[in-house]
Structure 1
Amino acid sequence: MVEVERDGAFSVNCVGSARLPFPMSFSVREVDGSWMISAAAARAGELIDVLTRTANDTVVVVNLATNSFLDEDYRPWRPSLIAAEQGVDCTVHPVGAWASDSIGLGEEFLLLHRSGLPRFLGGGWSPYELSMVDLPAGATPGQLDELALVIGTAGAEPVLPRLEGSRLRFSGHDDCYLAVESTDPAMPPSVLGRLLALLAGSALLGTGGAPSVRVPEPDAALPERLIARSPHWIGAVGDATATTVTVKLSALSQRWRLGRRPPERADCTATLDLAHGGWRLAAGDSSR
């Protein structure tokens, strides 16, 4: 079960001046043994348990930017101060000036146990930039400098093949758009399944006044069927009642980008029926 709150990514984001509901988007490709996922919409805290299921125990926060923690001069706090405020134990590794000027790197790295990430990201604050990489235990300062070099010089290609023992890289923008690189083939269906649950939960919240709702995730077979059909999907809520939500899903020829109108057709419909406790997938638009 997944708890979906009113400040979730689907609930607080909208498209354009008409404030249209934000669609679910998902895209995946496999490159050199890495599964590269681009998706929306999810906050980092809504995904962290999915992301770290097969990650190493040590996770390095390599970049963090937020307006949620500002000093009296309206300057952002350093990540280590945020960790202290959140009550999370971590080790700080200063990043050299040559690296901190690179895109995607902060002035310091935070090394923390993956079990501390929910607390670190909890409490209602929101990062507009967040990047994390896992590392095997016992990383040396030299290996962390090497990590800075790899991340700082990375383009669109996967970075995990260049980081021995690493299994996960996450990058989030506006606490809504996300990019995931993972060596775990179960990651793509897990992320897609979570996105479906978050979207359905946001629709259920719209039908009542509760601050949160708990919804089941689909079995792995449902997102696996979707990915087998197409690597690129966009979804929008169809009908929603207090117990049932339909999500209209359209397969795309390429990754969806903000500003593109979703297709009017639906290739599949995923339905969450709380009365029967689960999800089902049907071909086409079941509302027709």
Structure 2
Amino acid sequence: MIEVGRHGAFSVNCVGLRRLPFPLSFSVREADGSWMISAAAARAGELVDVLTRTANDTVVVVNLATNSFLDGDYQQWRPSLIAAELGVDCAVHPVGAWASDSIALGEEFLVMRRDSLPGFLTGEWSPYELSLVDVPAGVTPEQLDELALVIGTGTGDEPLLARLDGSRFRYSGHDDCYLLVESTDPAAPAAVLGRLLALLAGSVLIGAGGAASVRVPEPDSALPERLIGESPHWVGVVGTASGTTVTVTLSALPRRWRLGQAPPERADHVATLDLAHGGWRLAPAESAG
């Protein structure tokens, strides 16, 4: 079971001037021994436990941009001051001036324990840019400089973990909604897709019931694994909803969904969360009723 809050990504984001509900989108590909996952909509704090299940115990915040912590001149606080304000213990590694022109790097790295991430990412604030990478224990300043070089010279959604000795996951989030994940864990794609389904259903139940949060089960891994086995690209929209039941209409796509594209009229599957029976089921769209 996971707890879905009123300010989750599916609840606060919308599409277009008509403020249509934000769809679930998911895409995965394998490259250089990693799984590259592009998805929406989720805040970093809604996924951090999924993303770090097989990560090293040390994680580096390599980039952070937010409007939640500004000084009197409307300039963002340094990441280390934000961490201190949030009560998160971390080490600070200044990033050299040579890297200052890279939009993928902040002015300083925060090196913290993996189990400190939930406290860092939850609360009444939101990053519009956030990048995380795990590293082996005992990482040295020289290794952090090498990390900055690899991240700073990377382009787009290319895989980078093969160039980072010992790293197992990388996260890049935009607007606390869109995310790119690179993971060496073969279970990560299904875990992310399953979490997205639970978050979407939970956002609907909150809207219908008016509660501050709701606890919903995640689907068994077999459900998202089946979907990924059929197609690497999916988009999902809410179908029907009641006080205890939510359906999500899922359509396979030939390529990754992008903002501005309308979901297909044709559906392939319907995923149903039925709280009265305690779980999820998946059915072909034509037989879902």
TM-score, structure 2 as length reference: 0.98
Separation in 2 of the partners of 1:285 and 1:247? 14
Identify the residue that residue 180 of structure 1 maps to in structure 2: 181
- Please give the secondary structure, in 1, of the residue aligned with 2:189: helix
Measure how far apart 1:100 and its partner are: 2.3
**Structure 1, unpaired ranges of 5+:** none
- Percentage of pairs with the same residue: 78
Say yes or no: does 1:108 pair with 2:108. Answer: yes
Identify the residue that residue 126 of structure 1 maps to in structure 2: 126
Measure how far apart 1:103 and its partner are: 2.1
TM-score, structure 1 as length reference: 0.99
Cα 1:73–1:286 change in 2 (3 A) is farther
Measure how far apart 1:98 and its partner are: 1.0
- In 2, are the aligned partners of 1:61 and 1:111 still within 8 Å (CA)? yes
Q: Deviations over 1:92-112 (max 9, x none)?
A: 000011112112100000000
Separation in 2 of the partners of 1:32 and 1:67? 35
Superposition CA RMSD, Å: 0.9
Separation in 2 of the partners of 1:19 and 1:286? 30
Identify the residue that residue 98 of structure 2 maps to in structure 1: 98
Separation in 2 of the partners of 1:180 and 1:100? 24
Measure how far apart 1:287 and its partner are: 6.1
Measure how far apart 1:255 and its partner are: 0.2
Q: 1:49-68 counterparts in 2 under 5 A?
A: 49-68=49-68
- Please give the secondary structure, in 2, of the residue aligned with 1:129: strand
Identify the residue that residue 168 of structure 1 maps to in structure 2: 169
Q: Deviations over 1:82-127 (max 9, x none)?
A: 1000101000000011112112100000000010001111212000
Q: 1:179-198 counterparts in 2 under 5 A?
A: 179-198=180-199
* Runs of 4+ residues over 2 Å off in structure 1: 285-288
Whichever residue aligns with residue 37 of structure 1, its letter is I
Alignment length, in residue pairs?
288
Separation in 2 of the partners of 1:196 and 1:287? 17
Separation in 2 of the partners of 1:261 and 1:285? 21
Separation in 2 of the partners of 1:100 and 1:273? 50
- In 2, are the aligned partners of 1:265 and 1:285 still within 8 Å (CA)? no
Q: 1:1-288 counterparts in 2 under 5 A?
A: 1-155=1-155, 156-285=157-286
Whichever residue aligns with residue 170 of structure 1, its letter is Y
